């Protein structure tokens, strides 16, 4: 018996993280209080409406239009951020130029700047009488108080997610990889498309998902530049606020539940694509 206990003690592996059990318990408790309970309350409140009433509220024309604008503009902004975020990260990693540190610090500005301040600043710039809007007005291009203005605001708040996700992976890619590709006869397009981008794809999809998720739920920077016109530039988070102010809690709950479901499904698809790209191309290192 003593030999069995001593043998069991000898083969017992210590925990990699000290206090793992306590840390896991605190993590799960915090996650439950902050995330799971509020989401469960939303689902429970939605289920109390009944299927017929829920579908009637969720399929309302104004609700569908607001959801379309929110998810559509967030998707467009995330694609723009993915493209230009990768380019910006490439410039910051591969080139040295005056003011590089200033530009690198400015990337994080949307994280520190209050979203309402960003919305007011963008509206002042892109309004018909603004610095940029006054130049676009004679060309018949209107940004502020249209869905295009929403895209501009979402690009502003979502760009750091892509840059800061892709930048560390780019720093791990040695220049020798590009030189080896050139030595083997690859041109610049082949080097970018077949050597560099596959390694950056998982990180790029992560930044895309983060930018998209931020765009769907963004409120402060959008309400000023959007104009908030029903059926034109009204976003779903604003419509939820409007329903709450009208004391129409069932409608607000239905809109929130639909946003939760659609966000979960789209993020699930993105994560599946990301997992596939990691299995195929590796971790990008």
Residue 153 has pLDDT above 90, yes or no: yes
- Return the pLDDT at 261: 87
Mean pLDDT of the region 65-75: 94
Token pair for residue 62? 């104004």
Given a cut of 80, whether residue 92 has pLDDT beyond it is yes
**Domain segments of the chain as ranges:** 48-281
Distance CA 118, CA 190 (A): 39
Give the separation between CA 218 and CA 263, rounded to whole angstroms.
Answer: 13
pLDDT band at 285 (very low <50, low <70, confident <90, very high): very low
Q: What is the pLDDT of residues 210-257, one digit of tens each?
A: 999 899 989 988 999 998 888 888 999 999 999 989 988 888 888 888
| CA 58 – CA 46 distance, rounded (Å) | 11
Distances (CA, A) of 105 to 100, 122, 163: 9, 20, 12
- Residue 206: pLDDT above 80? yes
Q: What is the mean pLDDT of residues 53-78?
A: 92
Q: What is the mean pLDDT of the chain?
A: 84
For domain 48-281, is the CATH number 3.30.56.10?
no
Q: What's the pLDDT at 69?
A: 95
pLDDT in tens, 250-261: 888 888 888 888
d(CA 150, CA 233): 8
**pLDDT classification of 3: cutoffs 50, 70, 90:** very low
What pLDDT does 51 receive? 80
CA–CA dist 183, 227 (Å, integer)? 55
Q: Which pLDDT tens digit goes with each residue over 267-281?
A: 888 878 777 777 776
Q: Which pLDDT band, with edges at 50, 70 and 90, does 73 fall under? A: very high
pLDDT attached to residue 284: 42
Range from 13-22, 51-60, 140-149 that averages highest in pLDDT: 140-149
Place of tokens 């998707």: 75
Q: What is the pLDDT of residues 115-138, one digit of tens each?
A: 889 899 999 999 988 899 989 988
- Rounded to the nearest angstrom, the gap between the alpha carbon of residue 111 and the centroid of all alpha carbons in its chain is 13
User: What is the predicted pLDDT for the residue at 152?
Assistant: 95
Residue 210 is encoded by which pair of tokens?
A: 């983060």
Of the two residues 14 and 91, the one the predictor is more confident about is 91
Which DSSP state fits 108? T
Q: Which of 14-28, 99-113, 156-170 has the lowest average pLDDT?
A: 14-28
Mean pLDDT over 100-112 rounds to 90
């Amino acid at each position: 018996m003593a030999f069995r206990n001593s043998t069991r003690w000898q083969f017992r592996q210590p925990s990699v993280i000290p206090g793992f059990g306590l840390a896991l318990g605190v993590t799960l408790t915090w996650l439950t209080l902050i995330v799971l309970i509020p989401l469960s309350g939303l689902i429970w409140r939605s289920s109390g409406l009944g299927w017929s009433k829920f579908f009637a509220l969720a399929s309302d024309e104004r609700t569908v239009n607001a959801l379309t604008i929110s998810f559509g503009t967030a998707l467009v902004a995330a694609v723009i951020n993915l493209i230009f975020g990768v380019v910006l990260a490439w410039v910051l990693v591969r080139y040295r130029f005056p003011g590089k540190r200033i530009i690198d610090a400015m990337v994080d500005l949307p994280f520190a700047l209050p979203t309402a301040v960003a919305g007011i600043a963008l509206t002042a710039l892109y309004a018909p009488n603004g610095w940029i809007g006054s130049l676009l007005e004679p060309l018949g291009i209107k940004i502020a108080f249209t869905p295009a203005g929403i895209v501009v605001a979402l690009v502003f708040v979502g760009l750091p997610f892509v840059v800061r996700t892709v930048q560390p992976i780019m720093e791990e890619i040695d220049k020798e990889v590009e030189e080896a590709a050139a030595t083997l006869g690859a041109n610049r397009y082949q080097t970018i498309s077949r050597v560099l981008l596959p390694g950056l794809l998982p990180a790029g999809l992560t930044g895309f998902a983060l930018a998209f998720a931020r765009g769907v739920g963004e409120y402060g920077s959008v309400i000023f530049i959007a104009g908030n016109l029903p059926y034109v530039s009204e976003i779903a988070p604003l419509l939820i606020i409007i329903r709450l102010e009208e004391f129409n809690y069932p409608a607000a709950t239905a809109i929130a539940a639909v946003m939760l479901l659609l966000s979960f499904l789209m993020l699930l698809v993105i994560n599946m694509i990301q997992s596939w790209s990691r299995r195929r191309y590796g971790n990008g290192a």
